[in-house]
Amino acid sequence: MRRWSAVLGCAALILTACGSDDGSGDGGATAELTVFAASSLTDAFTEIGSDFEAANDGVAVIFNFGSSGELAAQIASEGTADVFASASESYMDDVSADPGVTGRTDFAQNRLVVITPPDNPADIRSFEDLGNPGVQVVLAAEGVPVGDYAREALDAAGIGDAVLANVVSNEEDNASVVAKIISGEADAAIVYVSDVTSQVAPDVDAIDVPDAVNVIAAYPIAVVEGAQDPETAQAFVDFATGPEGQATLAAFGFLPPPSA
Amino acid sequence: MARGGSRRITPAPVAVLSAIGIAFLAVPVLALVVRAPWSEIGEKLAASGAWVAFRLSLVVSLTAAALSFVLGVPIAWVLARSSFPGRALVRALVILPLVLPPVVGGVALLTALGRSGVVGSWLYDLGIQLTFTTAGAVLATTFVSIPLVILSAEGGLRSLDPRYEQAAAAMGASRMHTLRRVTLPMLRPQLAAGLVLAWARALGEFGATITFAGNLAGRTQTLPLAVYEARQTDPGAAVAASLLLVALSLVVLVAMRDRIFGR
């Protein structure tokens, strides 16, 4: 009996703690803005999110980062997103078909880069070297935007078959691909330039993918149909495409959108 | 269920809570059945590479279960029958993979046996690489499965009446002979339960495998990994592949029910 009351006491304490936590903050009611964003945007959008919160009293931005395809599927089935930022136009097409979007616009671009461990065990000096026999290559899986773009670039360079034969793992997202190189488990990988963040840079070497074959990925953003507060959602879209958001994105290695 | 003719009345709260619990566990599985793309399930399974993954899953999980058994039973023996300083710590260490998130197990394996790992870099110099190989998938899976064999076998050893073994020894049986003809046969239910649970755990392993061995069709992409990858591109195929895994697991669990729960 005594043990039960202790448990209940703890539970009550936790509940009240949560309650008061919600109430504090800015004094007023807090509106939550749920943003679904491609995992390659994790660092940049986390910063943009807190800048947006600082500029908009009473708004709390909640992120769900993941692979764009998975996010699009989640939006279609669960519909809990206010804003969707995708690493690929095709997944934004899916969401604009179901449940629909407004204010769609491109806000950034990304390009591919080859990364190797700093000691470059397979002696990769060019994009074509990925097809050399015995090179252990890691790519993002098909269906993950960066994985699809990488395969596109490899085909454009005419080394698709050779490199696919060298692939030792198809990873689920950019971060997992980068992790395999940082840990030195694989010889080379293809990721976005923005994946080579300042934290990652000391642990990998980057090798350029020539413009002729590089795939420039445009990132679209839009307000999702059925957003809790479409105005705030649109404000976030404007913030990301505005000067402050663009400066943050540039700092994280993203290129400006095609129109800019 | 009435057993041996003695009918027992289930108290109402037990009946209600058990019904809620059973529904909670059964509905998701039934939902898979309802939503499966039955009209095109053959194509979906073929397109998602589920059959290749299914075969690999069988190979990896059965090998891992066998390895878990061969290594786990001796560990259980040492833990149950001998006393040495630090035994509690050793037991905690070998049971740890059971409570660790598998991805942590994968990261730990990577730092130990990866190409640039503590032991792995040395293996790599000898020309042995475990990451991105089927052997690596087996190791990662074994890592998370062993504790189930250890727990089950140690429990059995501790509850064994020592008089049978003493009697065998008194009659002049050698230690090895006693082990083979007395101890192990008496432990059969616990050993079988440990083996099946380890195998079931191995079949569902995901985190340690994808972290340590990566994801490549035909080499390290087991059925759970195939399900995860199919979700990206074809949710219907993911449901179809999930059903395959459910069916396989159910068949074995139903077939082995008496060995796990006694008869």
Residue matched to tokens 């509850």: B159
List chain A residues with CB under 8 Å of B233: 69, 142-143
List chain A residues with CB under 8 Å of B231: 70, 73
Residue A208 has phi, psi (to 5 degrees) of: -65, 145
Residue matched to tokens 């304490």: A13
List chain A residues with CB under 8 Å of B232: 67, 69-70, 141-144, 172
pLDDT at A3 over 60: no
pLDDT at A244 over 70: yes
pLDDT at B235 over 90: no
- Kindly state the DSSP code that residue A195 receives in the 8-state scheme: G
pLDDT score for A29: 63
Q: Which of A142, A183, A203 to mutate to test the interface with B (most CBs of B within 10 A)?
A: A183
- Which chain A residue has the Cα nearest residue B112? A183
**What's the residue count for chain A?**
260
Contact (CB<8Å) A172/B229: yes
A63-111 residue pLDDT tens: 999 888 889 988 988 878 999 999 999 999 999 998 999 999 999 999 9
As a whole number of angstroms, the distance between CA A99 and CA B262 comes to 53
Residue matched to tokens 């069988």: B58
Contact (CB<8Å) B216/A169: yes
Region of residue A120 (left: phi > 0; alpha: psi -120 to 50; beta: else): left
A-B contacts (CB, under 8 Å): 58
- Which chain A residue has the Cα nearest residue B227? A172
Contact (CB<8Å) B232/A186: no
Q: Nearest CA to CA, how far is A192 from chain B (Å)?
A: 19
The answer to whether B116 contacts chain A (CB < 8 Å) is yes
Tell whether omega for the bond before A99 is within 30 degrees of 0, i.e. cis: yes
pLDDT at B215 over 80: yes
Contact (CB<8Å) B233/A171: no
As a whole number of angstroms, the distance between CA A212 and CA B108 comes to 41
- Kindly state the DSSP code that residue B11 receives in the 8-state scheme: P
Tokens in use for A102?
Answer: 């407004």
Q: What is the mean pLDDT of chain A?
A: 88
At residue A21 the predicted structure's pLDDT band, cuts being 50, 70 and 90, is: very low
- Cβ count near B119 (within 10 Å): 12
pTM: 0.80
- Which chain B residue has the Cα nearest residue A183? B116
As a whole number of angstroms, the distance between CA A121 and CA A222 comes to 43
At residue B258 the predicted structure's pLDDT band, cuts being 50, 70 and 90, is: low
Could you tell me if B62 and B199 are in contact, meaning their C-beta atoms sit under 8 angstroms apart? yes
Neighbouring residues of A17: CB distance < 8 A, sequence distance ≥ 6:
none
A155-166 residue pLDDT tens: 999 999 999 999
- Which chain A residue has the Cα nearest residue B211? A176
**A248: nearest Cα among A41, A40, A47, A38:** A47
List chain B residues with CB under 8 Å of A167: 216
Contact (CB<8Å) B214/A171: yes
Contact (CB<8Å) A185/B114: yes
Nearest to B214 among A73, A169, A184 (CB): A169
The ipTM (two decimal places) reads: 0.77
Could you tell me if A100 and A225 are in contact, meaning their C-beta atoms sit under 8 angstroms apart? yes
- Which chain B residue has the Cα nearest residue A145? B232
